[in-house]
Homo-oligomer: A and B are copies of this chain.
C-alpha cells in the first residue's frame, strides 16, 4: 500500500502574493508531491501551503519551501497578528494513509536535521515529535514570539533548540517541526433554537471536560440554530460516527433532534473506512477493499 503523508508548513508572509507563489512553486516542481491548497491572511501576515505525497517527496518539497522562505522573508521587519517565531513558522507532518505517526516523527526529525545543518536555522520539535514535555504544545514553544525568543534562545537553557545553533537565524528566526494526527473538522446541527443546549452538549463531549478522547467542541449559534462544532484531533480514537451517535444520544435527553451534520474540508479515506466499519459492525473491512485505493498502488 502506498504511503501518503500530508505537510502544511506555515510561513510568515501573507501580503506579498508573488513571494507566497514562489514558496508554493518550490513544492510544485518536486515529482510525487501535489499542492492541494495555498491560503494566506493579510492581517495575520501569514500563509500556509498544503502538500501531499509519498514521504521522500514531501520531505524534499518541504525543505525546498523552507529554503525559498528563508531567502524571501525577513523576520526583523515582520509584523502580523498571529504568533510566530520564524520565516517558516511551523511545519506539521500528518499521516494520511499507509503510514504511522512513528514514521512521520522520523520524517520530522530528518527535516529538522536538514534545516539546522544546511540552512543554519534553530529547530524546535513539537506535538508527537516533542523531545520535552514542555514542547508538546505549539503555544509553549512560541512563547515570547520571534522578538522574545531572540533573546531567550541565547540566555535561557530551557529555550535551547532541539537542533541547530542556540542563536536565531539572522533573517529567518527559528522553526517548529513535528508530527501530528489528521484533524477532522465536523459539525452537528441541532434542531433547536436554544443555543444553550448546543453549548451544554459540547461541554459534555469535549475531552478537556471529561468527554470523548481527541474531541474539541464548542456550542454555537449558526443561522439561529444550535450547532456543536468539533475538531476531532485523533479519528482513530473518536471518529465522526462516534461523535454523531454520542451527540444524538445527548440531544435525546434534551428532547431535541439532529437537523444534519457537516464534514468540513478534507477527510482521509481511512476515516470513512473506520466510520463504515464501526457503524455496520464490519469488523474485517479494510481500506484496501476500496477500489480507488487499488488503482494507485
Chain A interface residues toward B at CB < 8 A: 4, 6, 34, 36, 52-53, 96-97, 240-241, 244, 258-263, 265-269, 272-273, 275-276, 279-285, 289-297
| B contact residues around A280 at 8 Å (CB) | 240-241, 244, 261, 263, 275
| B contact residues around A281 at 8 Å (CB) | 258-261
Ordered by A's residue number, 17 sampled pairs between the chains whose C-beta atoms are within 8 Å are A4-B292, A4-B295, A240-B276, A241-B276, A241-B279, A241-B280, A244-B279, A244-B280, A260-B281, A262-B285, A263-B282, A266-B289, A266-B291, A266-B294, A268-B290, A272-B276, A275-B279
Contact among B34, B259, B276 for A294, CB-based, below 8 A: B34
> A266-B289, A269-B291, A275-B280 are known contacts; what are 12 more A-B pairs with Cβ within 8 Å?
A36-B291, A240-B280, A241-B280, A244-B280, A260-B282, A261-B281, A262-B282, A263-B282, A269-B290, A272-B272, A279-B279, A295-B296
Also in contact, A96 and B241, with CB within 8 A (given A260-B282, A285-B262): no
A34 near B291 with CB under 8 A, answer no
- Docked Cα-Cα span, A52 to B295, in Å, equals 7
B241 near A265 with CB under 8 A, answer no
Question: Shortest beta-carbon distance, A143 to chain B, in Å?
Answer: 33
A-B pairs with lowest CB-CB distance, top 4:
A260-B281, A269-B292, A266-B291, A272-B272
Interface centre among A4, A260, A263, A280 (most CB of B within 10 A): A280
| B contact residues around A268 at 8 Å (CB) | 290-292
- Docked Cα-Cα span, A282 to B273, in Å, equals 16
- Docked Cα-Cα span, A292 to B97, in Å, equals 9
B269 near A289 with CB under 8 A, answer no
B52 near A291 with CB under 8 A, answer yes
